[in-house]
A and B are shown apart, each in its own frame.
Chain A
């Protein structure tokens, strides 16, 4: 049971339609998430990284079914939840929660934070008002806020405190899995560290599983046990965190990791920066073959025609490249 996956996606895809048939370019489809197969095991933290617009947040929203899934399957503890309706999903919500990127926008400005934290308790629990008040106070303490803060409005808090409120809301029902959609990217660095530590503490105390989405690799490296790198809607590399950082196999991951600024402790020159040329192609017109080939330093003719599958080239390490650096 320990090793059974808590969440699993099988060739998950999310398409968006853009425009109507009356628009200049007609009706077009964006594959925001394309063929993602990901297995999340209990107790681990999967870091999902990639640059802006690569589909990280869309994937996160699909995982908690905020978006309807276009292709593939989504399984929660072996149960298919790909096409469950809003009301069928409700019992599941208490076990599958999400923390959002922008803590200011994700709290209703006209409601007291205590009410916001109590909301999931009221929806799911059968607690009395008094029990809810007690639980809210307990949650506030757990995330490092004063219980007195419950009567304030979101605008009376700092960014870090707001994110703590967001976390308190997410863990209110003792969930099993929390999807963290860039939980710290809207905060400044010193606050980021506090929140990351808080998340780590909570994971230990409450036995949580995290899917941690970020574009900041140093944060991801610190919290994740496994890492999945995304490019243009697909996962291109996956493996244990330190492993991927030390020996990334995909040219894109190598470039991404080499771009992390580090304090220079080694003599310069031992660290090579790979600078990619060009921009991320539009997901409206993805390149043929390997999605990465137009920017890839080692691309050959085969990359232009044949799309590499995400395959396990070594136990625990997966990569989608014809010529992985092994």
Chain B
């Protein structure tokens, strides 16, 4: 049976959305973040149109480590590939990894947080101890240990769900190591929500525990999840970059981290090839910064107590 038995209400909804957007866009950080993000999303969506197919050693077009010129706007790497081309293709990989890892992290965090908060008692204690474990354990170190082991077990060949195994493993590992603070925030919100009278109301109406969690608690968690989701993306990008930099990425599908790693190994720093290190580095910085800006602007928008009083 469909959940939406009544028609969409365009007016009330539209007004609410408009009010939210006005508030959200009044933050300068949100504007900057949104512009950068849209730019990189477009780039990540159609790198082939903007820069042609991904260059390899075979179809490389330029000189070795040539500085930026009219032909190669961001110079070339040590085997003559166009750095602009690599960076644009890297955007797709980096953003895919970061966004998918965030989805996993939000799903796990929300499930654990809601369950712990709603049921309380023993369930809460055990789930929160688990959360604490992931909370105190630096997720990067954990990912660093897990990734090579899993890769070793599964092998680097073939495809899983359309991803090469190393990318898939990185996505899952980042997702599974970054949910803890989402779980904590969701739990605290659930603790307060479950005491609200409308939950009692739903129970009297005969809702099951699962129904209450999904239909009544979850919709009220959306602001917190959205705001923190943006911050999770930012940290996912950092972790992905670091893991790839340490050589755990996939050389055939280079992300920005992989590019930094290649540049490092090619001695770009000592050769003075600043364009090779700088281009992916700046991209990582800009994208994660824009997610942080959006996240904190969302947080400020949703949480009236944190709004700056003029």
For this complex, into which size category does the number of interface residues on chain A fall?
Answer: 35 or more
Q: A118 in the interface, Cβ–Cβ < 8 Å?
A: yes
Choose one: B5, B204, B215, B222; the contact of A133 (CB below 8 Å): B5
B1-59: which residues lie under 8 A (CB-CB) from chain A?
A: 1-9, 12
Given contacts A152-B12, A169-B201, whether A90 and B206 have CB atoms under 8 Å apart is yes
Q: Which residues of B contact A132 (CB under 8 A)?
A: 1, 5
- Chain A at the B interface: SS class: helix
Asked if B303 lies at the interface with its beta carbon under 8 angstroms from chain A, I say: no
Residues of B near A123 (CB, < 8 A) are 205-207, 211
Contact residue among B3, B201, B209 (Cβ-Cβ distance under 8 Å from A115): B3
Compute how far the CA of A111 lies from the CA of B219 in the bound complex, rounded to whole angstroms: 8
Q: Is A194 an interface residue (CB 8 A)?
A: no
Q: How far, in Å, is A63 (CB) from chain B's closest CB?
A: 11
Interface assignment of B203: CB less than 8 Å from any CB of chain A: yes
A129 to chain B minimum Cβ distance, whole angstroms, is 5
CB distance from B119 to the nearest CB of A (A): 12
Whether B201 contacts A151 by the Cβ 8 Å rule is: no
B110 → chain A closest CB, angstroms: 15
A98-B204, A100-B201, A120-B206 known; A108-B220 Cβ under 8 A: yes
Q: How far is the CB of B165 from chain A (nearest CB, A)?
A: 40
Residue of B nearest to A108 (CB): B198
Question: Contact at A156–B12, with CB atoms within 8 Å?
Answer: yes
**Chain A neighbourhood of B8, CB < 8 A:** 151
Report the separation of the CA atoms of residues A108 and B198 in the bound assembly, to the nearest whole angstrom: 6
Q: In this assembly, does A310 line the interface, its C-beta being within 8 Å of a C-beta of chain B?
A: no
Given contacts A106-B198, A152-B12, A153-B12, contact A115 B203 (CB under 8 A): no
> CB within 8 A of B204: which of A64, A115, A136?
A64
Q: Is A122 an interface residue (CB 8 A)?
A: yes
Q: Is the CB of A112 within 8 A of B206?
A: no
Interface residues of A in 159-173 (CB under 8 A from B): 166, 169
Residues from 122 to 139 in A contacting B, C-beta threshold 8 Å = 122-124, 128-129, 132-133, 136
Is the CB of A93 closer than 8 A to any CB of chain B? Answer: yes
In the bound complex, residues from chain B placing their C-beta under 8 Å from that of A109 are 198, 220
A66 CB-CB contact with B under 8 Å:
yes
| Cα(A156)–Cα(B16), bound, Å | 11
| Distance (whole angstroms) from the CB of A282 to the closest CB of chain B | 23
Whole-angstrom distance from the CB of B212 to the nearest CB of chain A?
10
Alpha-carbon distance A124/B208, docked complex (angstroms): 11
If A129-B1, A169-B201 touch, does A108 touch B219 (CB 8 Å cutoff)? yes
- CB-CB nearest in chain B for A101: B197
Known: A108-B198, A128-B1. 4 other contacts (CB 8 A): A86-B209, A98-B201, A107-B201, A108-B219
User: Could you tell me which B residues sit within 8 Å of A by CB distance?
Assistant: 1-9, 12, 196-198, 200-209, 211, 215-216, 219-220, 222
19 A-B residue pairs with Cβ-Cβ distance under 8 Å, sorted by A, are A93-B204, A101-B197, A102-B197, A105-B198, A108-B198, A108-B220, A112-B6, A115-B3, A115-B4, A115-B5, A118-B6, A122-B5, A123-B206, A123-B207, A124-B206, A128-B1, A151-B9, A151-B12, A166-B201
